[in-house]
Structure 1
């Protein structure tokens, strides 16, 4: 079953581990020890470039640092602490999607954005807060321009927005992982407006 998920269905070890109920490092150990008929280069996320190209979508430098985020967010013991980001189509103009990943449960919510600006992201966060019925406690984001309206988000939702350090995607690791999975369904260059909401 595990080999089929990895080889045929192209699941990541993290996805398999979550479904089976084991630690993802166990899956990697089984592969390394030859207990699974799978090679590391065959995995969907193998060889990911860890050094990102320079940010092209615009950034800003204000906001509350992740260093001020409460320790309870880091421990993943409480529901309501989300990481957020955008996935772009790769085209210069057009739609994008916002991804929200809850740190404790790994609940992932994807919302279509009608633009790549802060107004579109603010609207998506307001919809998320309404959907969660005031369970949205914190958001951890990067310094992309779509989060420039963070003060309005805080005032309208009562949540606290924290900003990860520049070029530190590991500080929003759950979100980055989900974005890689999403990229299998929305490859770069795919026009998001051509996709259905399913």
Structure 2
């Protein structure tokens, strides 16, 4: 008893295939998943949007290093789709012949005939057509495994690896070992910790240097994208995954551009973008338009900086840490104990703005940081309109950016800013406000801002009289 050797080949006309068990997820779903990733969705959200579980999406994203390994463009229509295979299975169950199925699908009868024979299920000992099994067999047969250039060209691989992870040497060829770093655990580069010292050429630098070093050797050519794929995609096998630590970003997974640009900015509404700011703020002739931001120090410390556009008058806002900082564990969506959370920032700005006359608190332009997420409450309490600069556009708050650079003389990067009290911040602000400025005709910000306050007071008294 039993079947003769090669019986499946005789029935299907193709070599025997391994049993699929549970057929894998179709390529169309995987393509849809990577399209959602390109739109900026997380791996879990992209998976759910395509009808698969979140853990499956996370596994796809991590195994492929954040990069798709299949073409994402629409199919040419040359090959049968899964929907068409479902139609074939249904029509065959209804007793339709090959030509009738072909007529309804708009395909050639020979295409349907080959499909019913080649991709039919054979587990039961006879040909039974099932759409899921047929799709799995078609995708398996369509694979064209191709060896990676870095895996087959040893000289090219050695050149790329040397430029990526090669030792750092002094001009006299003495090797500089650099700091000792822990073994790579598959995660991004550590924050504020030592990193591995290497030559660390970028893939683009390597790809464009090859034609200069090997003018007459066309085999020593590779694109920078191929180097990235060899680093991030585990199946490529061209380069070790741990070499991503030698890239400038040090990312363990490649981040799609849309996701890198997509940040939580729900507090920025269409009414608060900088294009809605009054035109009078642009020419700096009307006082009362301010620009603000934070300067950040170590241990999650910060100081609020606010500058008036017309006079360049600077105010420093102290942001003390809340009770329990460093003692209580961090709570997700809980209060920001570091001192520059939305609630703390709103209260600190409100306490200062209410001390100013109404005519010098017309608008406040801020960076897109979440520390000003409660700008609506700030406006209702103080009457000042809040606007947010465009992403990656620091020049739209140039006065504040320049002032922050001046303040780094007193508050250098890498220092704890929470140690300074309110009196000391007032002293630093007074130092800046008493410096003569070329843009003010060598007058000081304090003098110009004082004139605006006094001029408006005299105007209001004359109008009342």
SS in 1 for 2:348: helix
Answer yes or no: is 1:182 the counterpart of 2:437: no
Matches within 5 A, 1:1-198: 59-60=265-266, 62-63=268-269, 64-91=272-299, 93=300, 95-114=301-320, 115-134=339-358, 135-197=360-422, 198=424
Q: TM-score of the superposition, structure 1-length normalised? A: 0.66
Separation of aligned partners in 2, 1:131 and 1:169: 28
DSSP-derived class of the 2:365 partner: strand
Superposed CA offset, 1:31-59 (max 9, x none): xxxxxxxxxxxxxxxxxxxxxxx89x975
Q: TM-score, normalised by structure 2?
A: 0.29
Structure 1: distance between partners of 2:275 and 2:265: 19
Cα gap change, 1:69/1:109 in structure 2, threshold over 3 Å: closer, same or farther? Answer: same
Deviations 1:4-51 (A, max 9, x none): xxxxxxxxxxxxxxxxxxxxxxxxxxxxxxxxxxxxxxxxxxxxxxxx
- 1:142 Cα deviation (Å)? 1.3
- Between the aligned partners of 1:175 and 1:122, the Cα distance in structure 2 is 19
User: Is contact 2:364–2:386 with CA below 8 Å preserved after alignment?
Assistant: yes
Confirm or deny: 8 A CA contact 1:60 1:145 kept in the other structure.
no
Report which structure shows greater RCO (CA 8 Å, sep ≥6): 1
Counterpart CA distance in 1 for 2:417 and 2:363 is 27
Compare the two structures and name the one with the higher helix fraction. Answer: 2
Alpha-carbon contact 2:317-2:349 (below 8 Å) kept? no
Contact 2:379-2:386 within 8 A present in 1 as well: yes
**Mapped contact 1:101–1:175 kept (Cα < 8 A):** yes
TM superposition shift of 1:196? 3.9
Deviation at 1:124, TM superposition (A): 1.9
Residue 61 of structure 1 and its aligned partner are, at CA, apart by 5.2
- Mark the runs of 5 or more structure 1 residues left unpaired by the alignment: 1-53
Higher strand proportion:
1
Gaps (5+ residues) in structure 2? 1-259, 321-338, 425-465
Number of residue pairs aligned between Structure 1 and Structure 2: 142
Distance 2:316 2:264 in 1: 22
Cα shift readout 1:123-150 (whole Å, capped 9, x = no counterpart):
1211221221323110001110101101
Distance in 2 of aligned mates of 1:105 and 1:188:
27
Pairwise CA RMSD: 2.0
Where has structure 1 moved over 3 Å in runs of 4 or more? Answer: 57-61
